[in-house]
């Protein structure tokens, strides 16, 4: 029996789109199945909306600084509905851009839920479709913890469906999404309470970065309850009442947002019909070439146990297409992946944390750090500062193994440094570099160690 396609991709998120378009450029007959809007979580719920909200909040922050430069104060009010409308228009534009790319590449777009019938066949909107190879790129989805009353809470998927900006919000969870939303909403005037069960936010990043970021957020007005668990959420006439361990009185807020770790979005895929094995955590098991336990089925992105970031999914998708339809085998290099946190202030990191370097190299681990007040804020009142930290291996010519930054420009600066670290940059290389003056980035080239 002749199969209809060389490749069917399940999921039109960033990774699935990258894989399908690259495979099509190699001449493959490709279809992509998606029940929602193209672009995936990044475009429709995550990275793009988060960054737009961050920009909106940043204008308020800069306006407060503007008075110190001679700009006269004037009354301004943030319009949540207008922002959401503008955001939706931009997201719609991105959806159409992705659809245009699909059409230009000659890829067939199959709209509807997909599920496996066997290892070469999927059903999309009750239509059986066959392919030589199938790529699963369905991403992950937010979940709500098992708390009585959690049905009254929202996730980041529903945040922009709120009819108005919440006057008060409790954010449950220490992961980056919650930290970003907390900083942005606080800067826009929402009273934010951040509740985390861990000792600090962002437990997977360098400890000083998370501590610095949390300290700055507290100074800006975010209330933190560390090492605290919410045991119940109750809807009352005054709002939502949260019962927390260690507190006799409930916390009253208008909105509750839960930022629990995401889980692979595998519901109703019927992977068992294709003999695709899962890991103990419930992700699709893959090897370094994204191959599953079924030889013609592959998986990339957040539905596997690899770094859950959009650029990583794109890299995996392109490597898959190059290996299966191109001219060479590629594993996809996920070393030295920079991570951004578009919070207030913003933060970014690349490479290993101090704890990780000390665990691997012991006394050979070294750190350089600096904290300074950026020129932008030198005319304004307040204690706005930028923090930079460099971690090295002293026994390997002080090779730089990690760079961590909190403050304006962190995302762009660390993104650029990721290339240098991948190429083996040392502390001497940084010291010998000539910086742009005046800039935040030049401070990187004159920091002292401890």
Fill in the DSSP letter of residue 142: -
Given a contact cutoff of 8 angstroms between Cβ atoms, the answer to whether 45 and 52 are in contact is: no
Residue found by looking up tokens 């704890």 in the block: 355
Residue found by looking up tokens 């045991």 in the block: 231
Q: How many CA atoms lie within 13 A of 45 on its CB side?
A: 17
Selected catalytic residue, list 90, 98, 111, 437: 437
From CA 38, how far away is CA 389, in angstroms rounded? 38
Q: Is 437 a catalytic residue?
A: yes
Parallel/antiparallel/unpaired status of strands 386-393 and 399-406: antiparallel
Q: How many contiguous H segments (helices) and E segments (strands) does the chain have?
A: 10, 22
Q: What does the CA dihedral 368, 372, 376, 380 come to, rounded to 10 degrees?
A: 160
Given a contact cutoff of 8 angstroms between Cβ atoms, the answer to whether 265 and 138 are in contact is: yes
Instruction: Locate 57 and state its tokens.
Output: 């909040």
DSSP string, 150-201: GGG-B-TTTGGGSSS--SEEEEE--SHHHHHHHHHHHHTT-EEEEE-SSSSS
Q: Where are the alpha helices (DSSP H) in 223-337?
A: 310-325
Residues tagged active-site = 437
């Amino acid at each position: 029996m002749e199969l209809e396609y060389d490749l069917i991709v399940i999921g039109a998120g960033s990774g699935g789109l990258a894989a399908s378009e690259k495979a099509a450029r190699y001449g493959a007959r490709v279809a992509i199945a998606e029940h929602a809007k193209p672009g995936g979580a990044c475009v429709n719920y995550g990275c793009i909306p988060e960054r737009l909200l961050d920009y909106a909040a940043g204008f308020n922050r800069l306006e407060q600084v503007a008075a110190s430069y001679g700009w006269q104060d004037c009354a301004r009010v943030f319009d949540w509905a207008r922002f959401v409308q503008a955001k939706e228009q931009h997201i719609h534009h991105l959806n159409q851009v992705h659809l245009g790319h699909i059409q230009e590449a000659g890829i067939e777009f199959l709209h509807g839920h997909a599920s496996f019938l066997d290892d070469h066949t999927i059903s999309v909107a009750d239509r059986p479709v066959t392919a030589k190879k199938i790529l699963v790129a369905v991403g992950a989805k937010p979940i709500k913890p098992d708390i009585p009353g959690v049905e009254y809470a929202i996730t980041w998927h529903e945040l922009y469906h709120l009819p108005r900006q919440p006057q008060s919000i409790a954010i449950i969870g220490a992961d980056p999404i919650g930290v970003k939303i907390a900083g942005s909403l606080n800067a826009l005037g929402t009273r934010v309470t951040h509740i985390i069960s861990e000792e600090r936010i962002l437990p997977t990043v360098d400890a000083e970065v998370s501590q610095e970021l949390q300290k700055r957020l507290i100074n800006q007005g975010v209330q933190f309850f560390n090492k605290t668990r919410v045991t119940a959420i109750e809807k009352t006439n005054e709002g939502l009442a949260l019962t927390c361990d260690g507190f006799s009185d409930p916390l009253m807020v208008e909105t509750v947002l839960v930022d629990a770790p995401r889980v692979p979005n595998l519901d109703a895929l019927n992977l068992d019909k294709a003999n695709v094995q899962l890991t103990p955590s419930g992700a699709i098991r893959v090897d370094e070439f994204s191959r599953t336990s079924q030889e013609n089925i592959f998986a990339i992105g957040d539905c596997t146990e690899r770094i859950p970031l959009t650029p990583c999914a794109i890299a995996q998708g392109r490597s898959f297409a190059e290996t299966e339809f191109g001219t060479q085998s590629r594993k996809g290099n996920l070393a030295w992946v920079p991570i951004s946190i578009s919070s207030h202030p913003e933060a970014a990191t690349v490479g290993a944390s101090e704890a990780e370097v000390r665990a691997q190299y012991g006394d050979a681990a070294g750190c350089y750090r600096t904290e300074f007040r950026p020129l932008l804020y030198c005319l304004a009142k307040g204690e706005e500062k930028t923090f930079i930290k460099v971690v090295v291996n002293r026994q390997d010519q002080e090779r730089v193994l990690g760079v961590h930054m909190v403050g304006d420009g962190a995302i762009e600066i660390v993104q650029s440094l990721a290339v240098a670290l991948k190429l083996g940059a040392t502390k001497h290389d940084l010291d010998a570099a000539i910086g742009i003056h005046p800039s935040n980035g030049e401070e990187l080239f004159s920091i002292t160690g401890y």
